[in-house]
Amino acid sequence: MKLNIKNGKIDMSHGSGGRASALLIEELFLKYLNNDWLAQRNDSATFNIDAGRMVMSTDAHVISPLFFPGGDIGSLAVYGSVNDVAMSGAKPLYLSVSFILEEGFALCDLECIVISMAQAAKDCAVNIVCGDTKVVERGKGDGVFISTTGVGVLPQDVNICGSKAQVGDIIILSGSIGDHGVAILSKRENLQFETTIESDSAALNHLVADMVNAVPQIHCLRDPTRGGLATTLNEIATQSAVGMHIHETAIPVKAEVAAACELLGLDPLYMANEGKLIAICARADAETLLCVMRDHPLAKHSSIIGEIVADKHRLVQMHTAFGGQRIVDYLNADPLPRIC
C-alpha cells in the first residue's frame, strides 16, 4: 500500500492509529522530518540536557489561508514556537508538533506544509522530535490546524521577561510593522496591490542569540504577533507597572503596508507581525544593542521607538507625526481573525 500524495485526500482512517496512520507517518511525516528521534517511532522523544534553566512555549496555529505570500501554516507553526522560546533569551532546541486534519484535505497540500516545516526547522536549527496526528470529519475542522511546542535552554545570567522594563529604559523595534497582517488580509480578500506584500514570517532565534551575546542584561523581548505592536507594548507596560512614550515617526511602516491599511481602515499598530521583535534595555545598552540588531539581516531596519516612563496608569502614549499625543490602548475588537 502506498499513499497517493498527488491525488489523495485525508480520510478518517488516517487518524485511527492503525495501518493508514502508520502509512501517513512513514511516507509523509518521516520522509521530510526524519531524524533520530522520529525514526524510533516511540510515543515520546528522549534527549540529553545539561543542568540549567529550560524554557517551554506552545502555540496553536489556525491561520487562514494556509498558504500566503511569504509563508504558510507549516513554517509559521515552526517559527511561532521557536520565536516564543527565543523571546526569553533561550536557545530553542526541540519541537513537538500536533496536526488536526480535516477529512478531505488534499495530501499534496499537506506535503507542501510538511516540506515547509522541515525547511523552517532547519533554518532554526531545531529538531522536530515528536508529533501526533488526528483527523476530524469534513466540516468539523478547516483543512489543517497545527500546534507546536518548543523547548530550549537559557544561558546563565539571562533574565529576560515582560515584567522587567524599568523607568528610563529604551524601546527598540526590529523593523517595519504590519507586513504579516496585510499579507494575510490581501490574500484572504483577494486584494491586488502594485507590489505583493509579503508576510515577515521568520525565525528570530539567531537574531536573539546575537543580541543576548552582546547584551545579556536585556530586560524584555517580545514578538508583536496577534494584537500587534500596540497590544504587545501594553502587555509589557501592565506586567512591568510602567508607562511608555513612543514616537510615531520612529516606527517603520512600509509605504505599501501603510497604503493598504489606510484603504482598509486598519491601523498598522494593531496588525500582526511574525518576524519582528521589541527589545527593552537600559539606556546605556541601547546603542550596542541597536548596532548588533542592525547587523542582522532580519533587523537591519531596527530603530529606537520610545522609552519607559513612570506612570501609575501604565499607559502607552504616542507622540504622533502631527505633533499631538494619543493613548495607544490594547486591541479591543479583532480586526483580523485567524491571523496566525
Name which position in 38, 66, 73, 87 contacts a second copy (CB under 8 A): 87
In angstroms, what CA-CA distances link 201 with 90, 216, 330? 19, 25, 23
Q: Which three cell numbers stand for residue 294?
A: 542592525
Contacting a second copy within 278-317 (CB under 8 A): none
Q: Which is nearer to a second copy, 9 or 338 (CB)?
A: 338
Q: Which is nearer to a second copy, 142 or 198 (CB)?
A: 142
Per CB under 8 A, 9 contacts a second copy = no
Per CB under 8 A, 271 contacts a second copy = no
Is 252 in contact with 327 (CB distance < 8 Å)?
Answer: no
Per CB under 8 A, 189 contacts a second copy = no
Name which position in 147, 205, 273, 303 contacts a second copy (CB under 8 A): 147
Name which position in 47, 241, 262, 310 contacts a second copy (CB under 8 A): 47
| Stretch binding a second copy (CB under 8 A), from 26-34, 143-151, 186-194, 289-297 | 143-151
Integer Cα distance of 155 and 213 in angstroms? 9
Binding characters for a second copy, 192-211, by CB under 8 A (x = yes): --------------------
Helix (H/G/I), strand (E/B), else coil: 224: coil
CB of 19 to a second copy, least distance (A): 5
Distance of CA 244 to the CA centre of its chain: 24
Per CB under 8 A, 324 contacts a second copy = no
Q: Which three cell numbers stand for residue 221?
A: 523581548
The DSSP bridge pattern shows strands 316-319 and 325-327 to be: antiparallel
Name which position in 75, 174, 201, 225 contacts a second copy (CB under 8 A): 225
Distance of CA 304 to the CA centre of its chain: 21
| Stretch binding a second copy (CB under 8 A), from 59-67, 241-249, 279-287, 299-307 | 59-67
Residues in the chain: 340
Q: Which is nearer to a second copy, 102 or 290 (CB)?
A: 102
Output DSSP code: residue 327.
Answer: E
Q: How many CA atoms lie within 13 A of 229 on its CB side?
A: 32
Name which position in 59, 111, 200, 285 contacts a second copy (CB under 8 A): 59
Binding characters for a second copy, 95-134, by CB under 8 A (x = yes): -xxxxx----------------------------xxxxxx
- 77-303-166 Cα angle (round to 5): 85
Integer Cα distance of 182 and 339 in angstroms? 10
